[in-house]
Structure 1
Amino acid sequence: MGICLSCEYAEKLESDENIVYVVEEGGLNSDEDGARRIASLYSQQGKKGPNQDTAILCQGYGMEEGVLCGVFDGHGRSGHVVSRMVRDYLPSLLLSERNAILLASEGYMYSDSDDTSSINDDDSPVSSPDMFDEWKEACINAFRAMDKELKHQNNFDCTFSGTTAVSIIKQGKDLIIANLGDSRAIMGAISEDGHLEAIQLTTDLKPNLPKEAERIRKSNGRIFALRDEPNIQRVWLPDENYPGLAMARSFGDFQLKHYGVISVPEVSYRRLTNRDQFIILASDGVWDVLSNKEVVSIVWSVGSKEKASKAVVEAAVRAWKCKYPSSRIDDCSAACLFLQDTSTVNKC
């Protein structure tokens, strides 16, 4: 069962700089007006043990109208602890790294003048190459620092536990996407001919990708699929059929960091236009059973924003029961960030 944000599993945190919503189980209450206007978060425990998924929304992030949104999918014995620690610390690490880069660049001070939302050319390329380069460097540095922090923890073991992280940072019309692992971000946009289309913003960083496989094998890691899971390539130790990690990049998993698994995110940029309607971040429990097009259609058809992510998760749970009736349902989490100022998702 989903549990609302007001229950003990999730909380709303406020500081002088921004408002932060975190979700571990269930979703945002309908009375959370600040988040409701721009986002919807929902998480539901599967049948494999504790819910190792979590999600976060930070408003006022980096600038008054800035937003950070992320979904984290833990795995292994301590996966639920790792995903929550990354959720809690990564946003501040990103801002710290970003500010350090700005201070080091010829005394340039970050201000609201960095907001390029006043540029009207919706088809323009990257509005500020320097801005993206700075955020990309900040993401890489922050992910490295986060992984180092996990390694130094004494109260839980990350040897064979870790988490994915898919996150977006919105600064005006500038969108920075940072991805680690096999969670995914997609966008719902209106095409030139007026149809709703699904645009995948991230690549699922799994061991079957040629560039990922090459790096792992060069580091003496092994990649193969189990007989009863022929379509799922996994990473194994050189001389032992363990642990079978189904992703090529992650936080934690330190034993496999010796064999090609890395914590370097794939960072990309998109200039938002008026055609872009919403962004959906979700853990692989959703993408294992629903296509990009199906998820976009679900969000578009929901009558109110606050119900969008719950509708996606519930559709994924139904699909698991239908497609894999003998399998244990995975944890399913989704975060929907709405880009247009409308009271409902679909007014058609």
Structure 2
Amino acid sequence: MGICISSASSQIRHETNGVGSIFEEDYKSYSVCGIQKLESICSKQGSKGLNQDAAFSYQEFGGVEESDLVGVFDGHGQNGHIVSNIVKNRLPSLLLGQITAKSSLMQSKSFDKWKEAFETSFKVMDKEIKLQENLDCSCSGSTAVVLVKQGDNLVIGNLGDSRAVMGRMRDDGIEAVQLTTDLKPGLASEGERIRSCKGRVLALKEEAHIQRVWLPNEDAPGLAMSRAFGDFALKDYGIIAIPDVSFRRLTSHDRFIVLATDGIWDVLSNDQVASIVWAAESEEAAAKAVVEAAAEAWKRYPSSKHDDCTAVCHFLQTHNATE
């Protein structure tokens, strides 16, 4: 089954079934950004080559109790695995720097301030990627979906087509609530922005259901998302690294949040994922079960290359699958 990360050990457990290098370095339980919850992350390499996914999960983000930071990143292109890991390692510090600069932000309920903090951090992150020496990111990049939870306040920044889904308790069981919009060129507002910047949006005949972004006068690179870190060949033609930032006030009915790359959502519905998580006894078991279910679902498409599958499960309160 892929990589499951546990904070019980500082070493990653590598298995021998072709899993890529999503988390190659040694980890400690603590970092400058908070307490790392590695056990809530699970990933499995697909059949396209290196695993280009990355993820993080922190408790006590910025040293503040009841403050959590969670994110997933899906790389694409020749150097996508490098981009996603750069973002995973650097973005928490950039967000923390914005929070520190705005000393009251960790206790703030001002959405505008949080939106500015996310947008500034993502902008700096994209610039740092561009300035990397000996790294060609003209046609390589990464998605991102990142959440900060402070008490009952939830702020999410989304870039691309990874997704955040919440499980909410109803009288008849668990309900899946999608928290982010998949930012793809087929979305009317995204396509309009790209075309206004002279980028082209069209689908290939052999995959008519997938809208892609192309250069004005060249049939390349064919990016299947409308926002991303990197992809600098398209940055003048409508691809942006500005996240879609949203705010939500959590309630007692909200039980968990799943952040996952599109390798999960391409083969499992929001409701399926919510049901899998709700049946699990822990964040670790939930993340593993979601990834296993997606890997099994990909087998129904033998002619397709299976995508990398990564999920982070974050319980909002004490979890009781028998409730």
**1:60, CA displacement in angstroms?**
1.1
**Counterpart in the other structure of 2:53:** 53
Contact 1:218 1:260 in 2 (8 A): yes
1:328 maps to 305
Is structure 2 residue 286 aligned with structure 1 residue 346?
A: no
Q: 1:300 to 1:212 in 2, by over 3 A?
A: same
Deviation of 1:304 after TM superposition, in Å, equals 3.3
> Counterparts in 2 of 1:25-64, with a 5 A limit?
28=39, 40-62=40-62, 63-64=64-65
Contact kept, 8 Å, 2:148 with 2:156, in 1: the verdict is: yes
Instruction: Give me the whole-angstrom Cα distance separating, in 2, the residues matched to 1:17 and 1:64.
Output: 12
1:18 corresponds to 2:25: no
What does residue 35 of structure 1 align with?
Answer: none
The correspondence of residues 96-245 of structure 1 with structure 2, limited to 5 A, is 96-102=97-103, 109=104, 114=107, 128=109, 130=110, 132-191=111-170, 193-245=171-223
1:120 paired residue number: none
The one-letter amino acid of 1:133's match is D
- Deviation per residue, 1:287-310 (Å, 9 max, x gap): 111110010011111233321011
Residues 4 and 41, structure 2, Cα contact 8 Å, conserved in 1: no
Aligned residues: 306
Unaligned stretches of 5+ residues in structure 2 = 6-10, 15-23
Could you tell me how far apart the structure 2 residues matched to 1:21 and 1:195 are? 27
Which of the residues 295, 306, 320 maps onto 2:284?
306
CA contact (8 A) 1:11 1:21 kept: no
* Partner SS for 1:347: coil
* CA contact 1:12–1:21 (8 Å) conserved in 2: no
Q: Is the 8 A contact 1:249 1:262 kept in 2?
A: yes
Structure 1's 2 and 212: CA in aligned 2 closer, same or farther, altered over 3 A?
Answer: same
Tell me the percent identity. 56
Distance 2:263 2:253 in 1: 28
Q: Structure 1 pair 4/287, CA: closer, same or farther in 2 (3 Å)? A: closer
Match of 2:225 among 247, 257, 260: 247
Q: Is the 8 A contact 2:33 2:96 kept in 1?
A: no
One-letter amino acid of the structure 2 residue matched with residue 57 of structure 1: S
1:276 paired residue number = 254
TM-score, normalised on structure 2? 0.91
Per the normalisation by structure 1, the TM-score is 0.84
- How far off is 1:97 after superposition? 1.4
Letter in 2 for 1:334: A
Q: Which residue is equivalent to 2:295?
A: 317
In the aligned structure 1, how far is the partner of 2:37 from the partner of 2:48? 25
Deviation track 1:26-56 (CA, whole Å, cap 9, x = no partner) reads xx3xxxxxxxxxxx21010000010000110
Q: Does the residue aligned with 2:205 lie in a helix, a strand or coil?
A: coil
Q: Gapped runs of 5+ residues in structure 1?
A: 23-27, 29-39, 103-108, 116-127
| Contact kept in structure 1, 2:161 and 2:182, CA below 8 Å | yes
